[in-house]
Amino acid sequence: MAGNAGAARKNGGFGGPHEVLADVYAFTGEKKYLKLAEKFRHNIVFEPMLHGDSMFLNKHHANTEIPKFIGYERIYQLTGDMQWHNAARFFWEEVALHRTWANGGTSQWEHFFNPAHNEAKVNETCGPETCCPYNMLKLTQQLYTRQPHAAYIDYCEQALYNSILPSLAPGGGFVYYTSMRPGNFRRFSRPFDAFWCDVGTGMENHGKYGEMIYAADKQQLYINLFIPSVLTWKDMVVRQETTFPAETRTQITLELKQNRRFTLSLRQPAWAKAQKVIIMVNHQPVSAPANADGYWRITRLWKSGDCVEMSLPMQITARRLPHSPDHAAFFYGPVLLAGLLGTDGLERSDFYEGGNNTDAANQLAAKPLPLTDVPTF
């Protein structure tokens, strides 16, 4: 689990040993490991989340708290004790739905703040640290496993495309903070004199894109993300071909050893207008009303060579910053858009910096464009 060690100590941070201990119990069956994992229940934060106290999180170090709830959800998975799950689910809902920036990140200067202060915070040079969506994606995956719902994948897609993917510099280096301030830019780590926590998790991030593309139960295969990939599931191979989001379609081809009846569940993205989405099987349009969980379902006897195509028209939308009448982020489908403000007055060195976790200034843009020079409308 990634996190700022200094801030973590002050706020009672301990990373994820309880998750590891719960896994050891799952492997060995020895309850002593589970009992020890349960001792990491940090009631000062657990109890407010269990009872729905969202304001308690204000001023707490964000990535100190996220790993705790990953471990608590893992304990629930092994015990069935709903209090662990209820606390983790409320925490996720509060962070993902009410404390998340347009790029899928959360926090400012590594700490949660009152969402009513969004307008002041957005104009600061800091922004969410990349370790937060890294860990929020882990928690999202756990919650999705218990109750598959398209809303969890909507968050995954938002964080993957707009926080994780752009956190890697084309020539190497990783992002600590991504400023939300208009007229700012990212800074990346230098290869030999910067090893922030976001460098460690940054290396992991880009090997994990395949984790949530698909999901399955006994008789159902979920298509969650539109990423070119190959899946081997039971006795079949599933191939997804797309250049999404450069193109607004995806194609899924099935290779089966023998015909089989099962349900193919296709995610309805929150950004897609359902009435404009076209689904075809073997080039013939099909009707597949979306269920309450946000999936179109097609149940049939599938044979090798069957092809499913989805047309997913995208449009430009504006998402207002909560509690702010003057700020909005613009998206094309799920992709957060950025203004082309140029690089006048900037050198290559301005985009790379060394330093360590405690030297926060090293991870911030040194020459932001004055707000008076940022185009507005």
> 127: which 2 tokens?
């922004």
Domain spanning 215-311, CATH architecture: Sandwich (2.60)
Q: What is the pLDDT of residue 5?
A: 36
Asked whether the beta carbons of 205 and 134 are under 8 A apart, the reply is yes
Asked whether the beta carbons of 125 and 364 are under 8 A apart, the reply is yes
**Bridge partners for 316 per DSSP:** 332
The single residue listed with the structure tokens 């050893």 is 257
Q: What is the pLDDT of residue 193?
A: 83
Bond into 245 cis (ω within 30): yes
Helix (H) or strand (E) holding 87: helix 82-98
Indicate whether this model's pTM tops 0.85.
yes
Residues of the chain with CATH 2.60.40.1180: 215-311
Q: What is the pLDDT of residue 368?
A: 87
3-class secondary structure for 200-239? HHHHHHCCCCCCCCEEEECCEEEECCCCCEEEEECCEEEE
CA dihedral 88, 197, 367, 170 (to 10 degrees): -100
Residues of the chain with CATH 1.50.10.20: 5-205
What is the Cα–Cα distance from 246 to 60, expressed in whole angstroms? 39
What is the Cα–Cα distance from 241 to 353, expressed in whole angstroms? 38
What is the Cα–Cα distance from 72 to 37, expressed in whole angstroms? 9
User: pLDDT 10s digit of each residue in the chain, 377 long?
Assistant: 444 333 334 456 788 999 999 999 999 999 999 999 999 999 999 999 999 999 999 999 999 999 999 999 999 999 999 999 999 999 999 999 999 999 999 999 999 999 999 999 999 989 999 999 999 999 999 999 999 999 999 999 999 999 999 999 988 899 999 999 999 988 999 888 888 888 999 999 999 999 999 999 999 999 999 999 999 998 999 999 999 999 999 999 999 999 999 999 999 999 999 889 999 999 999 988 778 999 999 999 999 999 999 999 999 999 999 888 889 999 999 999 998 888 888 888 888 887 665 555 556 777 888 888 898 88
Pick the CATH number of 5-205 from 3.20.20.30, 3.40.50.300, 1.50.10.20, 1.20.1250.20: 1.50.10.20
Angle subtended at Cα 128 by Cα 122 and Cα 134, rounded to the nearest 5 degrees: 155
What is the Cα–Cα distance from 362 to 187, expressed in whole angstroms? 9
Asked whether the beta carbons of 202 and 165 are under 8 A apart, the reply is no
> 324: which 2 tokens?
């702010």
Q: What is the pLDDT of residue 233?
A: 92
Q: What is the pLDDT of residue 357?
A: 54
> 123: which 2 tokens?
């104009």
Angle subtended at Cα 161 by Cα 113 and Cα 310, rounded to the nearest 5 degrees: 130
Q: What is the pLDDT of residue 355?
A: 64
Cα–Cα distances (Å) from 185 to 27, 169, 260, 272, in that order, read 45, 12, 51, 29
DSSP designation for 72: H
Positive or negative, the CA dihedral 162, 164, 169, 170 is negative
Helix (H) or strand (E) holding 301: strand 295-302
Q: What is the pLDDT of residue 40?
A: 96
| Cβ atoms within 10 Å, residue 132 | 29
**Amino acid code (one letter) for 327:** H
